[in-house]
Chains A and B, each alone.
Chain A
Amino acid sequence: MQLPSGYGSHPPNYSAPSGHYSQVPNKAAASHLDNQYRASYYPTYYSAPAQNVMTPPVGTSVLNTQESQQLYNKTPPHTGGSAEGPIQGAISSASYLHTSAQQSYSAFGNHYSTSVSSSVASQGFPLNSDHYTMPVVSSAVYPNVSYSAAAGSVYGQAFTSQSLPAVGQFKETNTFSSQSTSVPHSLQQHVPVGYNTTLSTVSSAQSVQDNLCRNLAGSVAKVNNQINAGGIDSSQPVHPVSQSVLFTKPGAGTAVSSAVISSVRTPAPSLSSQPRSSPSVTQSPELALQEAIDSSSTTSSASPVLNNYDALEGGGYPEARSVTSSPVPAPSVPQTSKASKPFGYGYPTLQPGYQNAAPPTPVQPSNSGHHPGFQHYPQQYPGVNQLSSSLGGLSLQHSQQPESLRPVNLTQDRNILPVSSVPAPVPNLNSDLRKLNCSPDSFRCTLTNIPQTQALLNKAKLPLGLLLHPFRDLTQLPVITSSTIVRCRSCRTYINPFVSFIDQRRWKCNLCYRVNDVPEEFMYNPLTRSYGEPHKRPEVQNSTVEFIASSDYMLRPPQPAVYLFVLDVSHNAVEAGYLTIVCQSLLENLDKLPGDSRTRIGFITFDSTVQFYNLQEGLSQPQMLIVSDIDDIFLPTPDSLLVNLHESKELIKDLLNALPNMFTNTRETHSALGPALQAAFKLMSPTGGRISVFQTQLPSLGAGLLHSREDPNQRSSTKVVQHLGPATDFYKKLALDCSGQQTAVDLFLLSSQYSDLASLACMSKYSAGCIYYYPSFHRSHNPAQAEKLQKDLKRYLTRKIGFEAVMRIRCTKGLSIHTFHGNFFVRSTDLLSLANVNPDAGFAVQMSIEESLTDTSLVCFQTALLYTSSKGERRIRVHTLCLPVVSSLADVYAGADVQAVVCLLANMAVDRSVSSSLSDARDALVNAVVDSLAAYMSTASNLQQSMLIAPNSLKLFPLYILALLKQKAFRTGMSTRLDDRVYAMCQMKSQPLVHLMKMIHPNLYRIDKLIDESTIHVNDRVVPQPPLQKLSAEKLTREGAFLMDCGSIFYIWIGKNCDNNFIKDVLGYPNYASVPQKMTQLPEVDALSSERTRSFISWLRDSRPLSPVLQVIKDENPAKTDFFQHLIEDRTEAAFSYYEFLLNIQQQICK
């Protein structure tokens, strides 16, 4: 139960804070509590400390794996049923956190780390035992139990339910983990705490404990430090989970362990199961298992949330009251605990951590006194929690901010790159909110401290905007099915963790501040099966949730998934040989195409005519229908061109096998792309779907024909780059028509000469498609590109897809959306129409501040993505991001997210270079650095003007901008083909931040001396972590081998005098001279260095959806220019080195 805590975890924390202030002083409050409550509550709390004690050994062992997991995004199997030992458990829990929880829980991580390392655990233990009736034995039991639980834990809840029966506690069977814990102590009191709370409580309890201990120890400073570090470090969050798991054990009792294991499998009990389980005292394991399986089959972990319809017994409210009585109003965040809610989570109150930071320290002593008293416990915890959160605030104010504001002298500080990847800054919120906030992977803001007014924003000279990756692949996502989706009545905002509950019946929208009623259904929490706790619903506990939408959200019934492939079969295409690869990939992935039994598929080929394929079921072989009237294209037969994938599978396979050879002798060199697209549009318009276009040359016939516009002599011109815009609006209009019919066009351009991508790309840009470009593609001459196509296709065909999507972005009153960037059609000021949405699409949004935000301390952004899944379900994925508002310029700089800023600027620069000119765009980029640094230096008056100073948060800004200027999209003076440039621009607009950053600023590692130091463990593999190197030739030594990670391609550069052992072991060749020119794979050699290198590379690969191509480059290889052009800190004939660039900036600032 604790595990499920993704949800529950918050409550405890929150309650804790409130309790802390108010309750610690007056113990009376505690007495007020109902007995029921206490009983229920205490057990949970207590158990937590006990666990702490136990945990340390476990925790440490677990640490590595967890960390690695987190970092790498690997998702271990959730199902791991049986207890396989600590590692397994840790992994599963890690995975859990990883997806859904990660963002919100980072705070936990902090606490956790402290507990593990410090003496806290020991302290905590004694405490527990004293108060607790819990037998010491239980603690012994811990390890086992905890592990199994952890393993199962994906969701955690499942365990509890099953475990309970085993224990023999009947009432609580249904209720999840929380109950189980509570059970031992108070059987009769049914604690509604439920699943959410338990988890959360555990973690919170632990954290509290940790903090407490620390405080007692008197090392407040340490806590602060830890908190800071923890917030940033993603790896930490994992730990809390594992701990929480442990927690459960005490409650379950020793006997439970086996039961727990079985329960593990059932992450998401289906709704139907609940009714059953609740009434029946004993649930047979099989039943539970069955349920679990059912539920799990649905979408994923999230479903469990819905299940519990439990007895109302445990009224959340008594507790709440007690809490409320506590003097500390500010800290209470509604979501967290029942108690906290009443307070009103309202905006003003939110920032307690922040503002109240100072008080906590003095309080500590009093806390320590409380330990012994059983009754005091609850109070203590809250108190501690509060303390921790306030400390968090403190640390932010006093240590973190200074850190991000610490002036960095750019011209003198040469090593500004971090050792590993650049972390996203953590918004300066109190720890409770921070835990709930949306993951920076899906939702990032350029300024994590929002300036109060547009004037302040203008002063800062930094762009304000959001970077979105809304449809990212998530392994854990709460999915909510309910008949009413609770939304604000005036602005239609979905209810989210940052709303405030005024009382039990009303909530206040955090975007428009309207007070709304809580619908009756929402009062009931399916997770805890309790009534009257709207603040504990999963919607209010998670900033990323997915709703199953009702028919109100459909314009028409969900359409089947329809895929149409439009293939170029002209001479040029056949010569390049791409057809073989495409057909092969399709054959391999035909069964993996997302869709249901209604999925339909069709093919069109074209050269100077358009060929259709009749694949009607029952035909003995595919029938080709040729339409040569390309000026007035028509469909040769009304149906049977798009056929059901499953019914006509044999025919489709026949066709795919035959296609590559059908046109081998063609002499047709023309390409009638336009007519083929028109035909495709006609074919698709009744249903919508996805058109995949493979094109290999300039379209030369019919509508939409294009002429070569590129002048090769101008490729390296430093002045004007023309033809970045489309030559005709045919493709744009087609895309808009397609978009209107819910059809997206994805373009694969595999050409060896100029094909006017600037015009062709329009077909994807405005229909929310995606663009792939393979310059000088040839199947045998260019194996690297062929391999890339193969890998891209695999991902492309099998990744998730959403149809008929719209995305709306809402933000707090006062902010407004200025411009969108990405592939879509803007339907209105805040609504994007996306015919298809895919998990690799990123979006950027420029914001402006229309009204002053002085009357609010927090702003929220919410994106809602409404789409039809490939299974024909209408779903809404909602992300909510909450950020603080600041009034001083220094705070704005402290919160700047340099990666987001750079990505947004890149998007703006692309627009600028199309609408105005490339040189304008370049100037704008340089000015962005100059202006913002100048503005910063003018605020810090004590700095010497002769130096180039940047705040720590922006120290990488000039470097990234320089990288951007040297990027293919914006560089001048170097020979850049127009299509390459346009493609780079398209990518900037449509890539999510993580990928874009790799494209702009690749990561360079030295790999010939990988050592075990600072390694991490992923799935029992040791992954070395070489430090990041500067992108400069000075770092390359002839004795070394280097790996450059450019996002879509890995280069391995081998120095001339590279160690022969390395070449032999890793590359599999005896010496440097024998390494071939074109090498795209590393052999599997049974040597340590080879193993390390390969595990490092596969680790890098696993972190991204597209598997990058590997290219080994020797010093005299012609391809080395590709490698060296990425060394952006070096000087080239046409561009500054990094140092020169800095001097240039400094000069401009002084002017």
Chain B
Amino acid sequence: MLYTIIAFDELKTDYKNPIDQCNTLNPTVEKVKKIKRVKIALKLVLPEYLIHAFFCVMFLCAAEWLTLGLNMPLLAYHIWRYMSRPVMSGPGLYDPTTIMNADILAYCQKEGWCKLAFYLLSFFYYLYGMIYVLVSS
């Protein structure tokens, strides 16, 4: 089960996202650095979506229907989220001019933590699946 290894990657990408955003809440010293970091983190959203979509495709190929079913809602959410993103020419999801709005920030943060939890759970689930497959084979 190769999937699990890649899942690690995915987790990492998402991990960075919410934490960096939290950092912006406590602006104290190195603001410029942080702004740069946040920018990078915000750009990682797209890879995250792609990786997740890739996973779903792999699950589909492996005929893991249950896992796929678990991931479908999130995939749909991602698609919806990307469709309703603010007007922008390049790829990306967050608008730097509105991200500091308290409502949007709070929403994004909550979203980040929820997804983190979901990825974590699914990671362990994949791990369990992999070990199960290894043991049983």
Contacts and interface: CB of A to CB of B under 8 A. Distances in A.
Contacts of A730: 89
Contacts of B88: 729, 732
A728 B25 contact: no
Interface in B89-105: 89, 95-97, 100-103
B97 to A, nearest CB: 5
B31 A727 contact: no
A829 B27 contact: yes
B68 to A, nearest CB: 34
Interface string B21-36: 0001101000100010
Given A729-B88, A828-B31, A736 B97 contact: yes
Contact of A736 (B25, B31, B96, B103): B96
B24 A729 contact: no
Contacts of B83: none
Contact of A826 (B31, B86, B87, B97): B97
A399 B80 CA distance: 57
Which 7 pairs across A and B sit closest by C-beta, in order of nearness?
A: A828-B27, A826-B100, A818-B102, A729-B88, A819-B101, A766-B97, A729-B87
Contact of B87 (A726, A825, A827): A726
Nearest to A703: B89
B94 to A, nearest CB: 12
Contacts of A826: 97, 100-101
Contacts of B103: 818-819
A825 B31 contact: no
A1009 interface: no
A77 to B, nearest CB: 45
Contact of B31 (A818, A820, A827): A827
A1032 interface: no
A825 B101 CA distance: 11
B90 to A, nearest CB: 8
Most buried by B among A730, A820, A825, A829: A829
B69 to A, nearest CB: 33
B105 to A, nearest CB: 8
A831 interface: yes
Given A736-B96, A736-B97, A725 B102 contact: no
A819 B102 contact: yes
A733 interface: yes
24 contacts: A725-B86, A727-B87, A728-B89, A729-B88, A729-B89, A732-B88, A732-B95, A732-B97, A733-B89, A765-B97, A766-B97, A817-B102, A818-B103, A819-B102, A819-B103, A820-B100, A825-B96, A826-B100, A827-B35, A827-B100, A829-B24, A829-B25, A829-B102, A846-B102
Nearest to A846: B102
A827 to B, nearest CB: 7
A726 B97 CA distance: 13
A725 B96 contact: no
Nearest to B92: A729
Contact of A848 (B24, B25, B102): B102
B87 A725 contact: yes
Interface in A706-732: 725-730, 732
B24 A828 contact: yes
Contacts of A726: 87
Nearest to A817: B102
A732 B96 CA distance: 10
Contacts of A827: 31, 35, 100
Contacts of A766: 97
Nearest to A726: B87
Contacts of A765: 97
B86 to A, nearest CB: 8
B123 to A, nearest CB: 32
Contacts of B35: 827
Interface string A787-819: 000000000000000000000000000001111
Given A727-B87, A831-B27, 20 more contacts: A726-B87, A728-B87, A729-B86, A729-B88, A736-B96, A766-B97, A818-B102, A819-B103, A820-B100, A825-B97, A826-B97, A826-B100, A827-B31, A829-B24, A829-B25, A829-B27, A829-B100, A830-B27, A846-B102, A848-B102
Contacts of B100: 820, 826-829
A491 to B, nearest CB: 10
A771 to B, nearest CB: 16
Contacts of B25: 829
A290 B95 CA distance: 56
A730 B88 CA distance: 8
A829 B88 CA distance: 23
Contacts of A816: 102
Instruction: Select the residue from B25, B87, B95 with max chain A CB neighbours within 10 A.
Output: B87
Interface string A147-182: 000000000000000000000000000000000000
Contacts of A729: 86-89
Contacts of A818: 102-103
A76 to B, nearest CB: 43
Contacts of B95: 732
B33 to A, nearest CB: 12
B135 to A, nearest CB: 50
Contacts of A825: 96-97
Interface in B76-120: 86-89, 95-97, 100-103
Nearest to A847: B102
A525 B133 CA distance: 81
Most B CB within 10 A of own CB, among A727, A816, A817, A827: A827
A727 B31 CA distance: 31
Interface in A849-897: none
A500 B13 CA distance: 48
Nearest to B97: A766
A825 B100 CA distance: 9
A765 B96 CA distance: 13
A732 B87 CA distance: 10
A848 B25 CA distance: 15
Interface string A315-341: 000000000000000000000000000
A933 B27 CA distance: 39
Nearest to A555: B32
A820 B100 CA distance: 9
Nearest to A759: B87
A820 B31 CA distance: 19
A322 to B, nearest CB: 44
Contacts of B96: 736, 825
Contacts of A820: 100
A850 to B, nearest CB: 10
B84 to A, nearest CB: 11
A766 B101 CA distance: 14
A1002 to B, nearest CB: 31
A730 B86 CA distance: 13
A817 B102 CA distance: 8
Contacts of A725: 86-87
A818 B102 CA distance: 5
Contacts of A733: 89
Contacts of A831: 27, 31
Interface in B60-85: none
B20 to A, nearest CB: 13
Interface in A739-766: 765-766
Contacts of A736: 96-97
Interface string B20-64: 000011010001000100000000000000000000000000000
A730 B89 CA distance: 7
Contacts of A817: 102
A817 B100 CA distance: 10
A100 to B, nearest CB: 32
B106 to A, nearest CB: 10
Nearest to B88: A729
A830 B86 CA distance: 23
Interface in A673-725: 725
A816 B106 CA distance: 13
B79 to A, nearest CB: 20
A736 B39 CA distance: 13
A829 B103 CA distance: 12
